Amino acid sequence: MVWTRLAALIVKELLAAFRDPRGRMALVAPPLIQLFLFAYAATLEVSHVPIGVVNQDWGAQSRQLISRLEHASAFSEVRLYASETEARAAIDRQDVMVVVEIGQDFSRKLAAGETPSILVLLDGRRSNSAQIVNSYVNNIVAQYAAEFGAGRGPPPDSVIVDRSWYNPNREYRNAMVPILIATLPMMTVMMIVGMSVAREQELGTFEQLLVSPLQPIEIVAGKSVPGLIVGLAQCGVISLIVIYGFGIPLLGSALVLSAALTVFLLSIIGVALFVSSLATNQQQAMMGTMVVVMPAMLLSGFSSPVQNMPDWLQPLALANPLTHILVVLRGLFLRDMPAALAAQHIWPMAGMAIVTIIVAAWMFRRKVQ
């Protein structure tokens, strides 16, 4: 009896989501568009930026250094400026974010075995990119100095041997794409589950459900399961695109991945149901969803690491299911995280799922009366 009623609700919910071609589009198009946007547009990497040079030196060494800069993959072209004033104006206009200024005695000092200095002017309006560009320039200059020195007697300065594990070329896409497996379905599920109750209320069908023998807990289950089905399907499709489309292999266990995603989606569904139990129409549900999704995204380590947040925000980030699933996803896709380590992040999500779903069920009960 209970199963019949529940099955009817779930089938109805899935039909409502998939019957309408526009509804089908809404489930498929936005995640795919966002997947490609995040993969190609959401990058903190700095590459192909123009670099400015003010060269007051006439020697061959400065030209060699400039040619090094020109051939570096990080820079698209070298723009020569006659004076520092001109260079300053170019930075002001944001034509270039970095200018390397080579003093007039550069070649002489270098040839003489002294230590010449060069000035790197950086646009601090974009401090993150500027820092990264600065380290590129540093690397190129240090390498040049090392090679220059190698041929001419005295040993060069000692340079750090710098390696990255898990993602040797530090490709931003490799780091970004796997975490979309959780982020994009999260948005869809928040929308589907968050709106569905509000829509029924707005259309009056919710009363129709309430006068049927369905129990509040059955309604909660009937709204959750379709969200879980759709969410897991999306997770699956995006995972396949990540693995085969972007060629990022899953190093960890697929079983652990599925378990983590299921628990994560359940916790999101609980939150969505809670939002939805507070809203009386679709408009409010939509606003509520936005007010929840934005902080969830931004306080999760999705766009910047959790450790950079102020201490008083850290607990909020730890209470965010997305924070945990992102660690698991990065771990399983890039680092071959052992199951035991993944479990440390699955438990908190499971706790949140239990709490949010219980609260949502309680809210529904109240709503009925």
- Show contacts with another protein in window 19-58 (CB under 8 A): 19-20, 23, 37, 40-49
What is the rounded distance in angstroms from the CA atom of residue 273 to the CA atom of residue 198? 10
| Environment class of 335 (CB within 10 Å of its CB; exposed 0-12, middle 13-18, buried 19+) | middle
Which one-letter DSSP state was computed for residue 243? I
Nearer to another protein, 84 or 359 (CB): 84
Residues 88-107 within binding reach of another protein (CB under 8 A): 89, 91-94
Nearer to another protein, 239 or 266 (CB): 239
Q: Is position 247 an interface residue for another protein (rule: CB under 8 A)?
A: no
Residues 163-192 within binding reach of another protein (CB under 8 A): 163-172, 174-175
Tell me, by CB under 8 A, how many residues bind another protein. 127
Q: Is position 298 an interface residue for another protein (rule: CB under 8 A)?
A: yes
SS3 55: strand
Q: Is-contact 186 194, C-beta < 8 A?
A: no
- The residue within the footprint of another protein, chosen from 233, 254, 291, 358 (CB under 8 A), is 291
Q: Is position 338 an interface residue for another protein (rule: CB under 8 A)?
A: yes
From the CB of residue 127, how many other CB atoms can be counted at a distance below 10 Å? Answer: 10
Q: Is position 336 an interface residue for another protein (rule: CB under 8 A)?
A: yes
Stretch that binds another protein, among 208-216, 233-241, 267-275, 354-362 (CB under 8 A): 208-216
Nearer to another protein, 56 or 354 (CB): 56
Stretch that binds another protein, among 152-160, 231-239, 264-272, 352-360 (CB under 8 A): 152-160
Nearer to another protein, 266 or 342 (CB): 342
Buried b (16+ CB within 10 A) or exposed e, 256-292: bbebbbbbbbbbbbbbbbbbbbbbeebebbbebbeeb
**Residue 264 main-chain phi, psi, to 5 deg:** -60, -50
Nearer to another protein, 174 or 234 (CB): 174
Residues 110-149 within binding reach of another protein (CB under 8 A): 110, 113-132, 134-135, 137-138, 141-142, 144-146, 148-149
Q: Is position 204 an interface residue for another protein (rule: CB under 8 A)?
A: yes
Q: Is position 73 an interface residue for another protein (rule: CB under 8 A)?
A: no
Stretch that binds another protein, among 228-236, 256-264, 297-305, 354-362 (CB under 8 A): 297-305
Q: Is position 158 an interface residue for another protein (rule: CB under 8 A)?
A: yes
What is the rounded distance in angstroms from the CA atom of residue 265 to the CA atom of residue 56? 60
Q: Within 13 Å and on the Cβ side, how many CA atoms surround 308?
A: 8
Residue 136: which residues within 8 A CB-CB, separation 6 or more?
46, 72, 74, 75
Q: 300-303, long-range: CB within 8 Å, 24+ apart, which pairs?
A: 300/326, 301/326, 301/327, 302/179, 302/183, 302/326, 303/42
Instruction: Find the length of the chain.
Output: 369
Nearer to another protein, 171 or 359 (CB): 171
What is the rounded distance in angstroms from the CA atom of residue 225 to the CA atom of residue 213? 19
Pattern 313-332, binding to another protein, x per CB under 8 A?
Answer: x-------------x--xx-
What is the rounded distance in angstroms from the CA atom of residue 7 to the CA atom of residue 242? 33
Which one-letter DSSP state was computed for residue 157? -
Q: Is position 152 an interface residue for another protein (rule: CB under 8 A)?
A: yes
Tokens 């003093």 belong to residue: 103
Q: Is position 108 an interface residue for another protein (rule: CB under 8 A)?
A: no
- The residue within the footprint of another protein, chosen from 25, 304, 318, 358 (CB under 8 A), is 304
Q: Is position 369 an interface residue for another protein (rule: CB under 8 A)?
A: yes
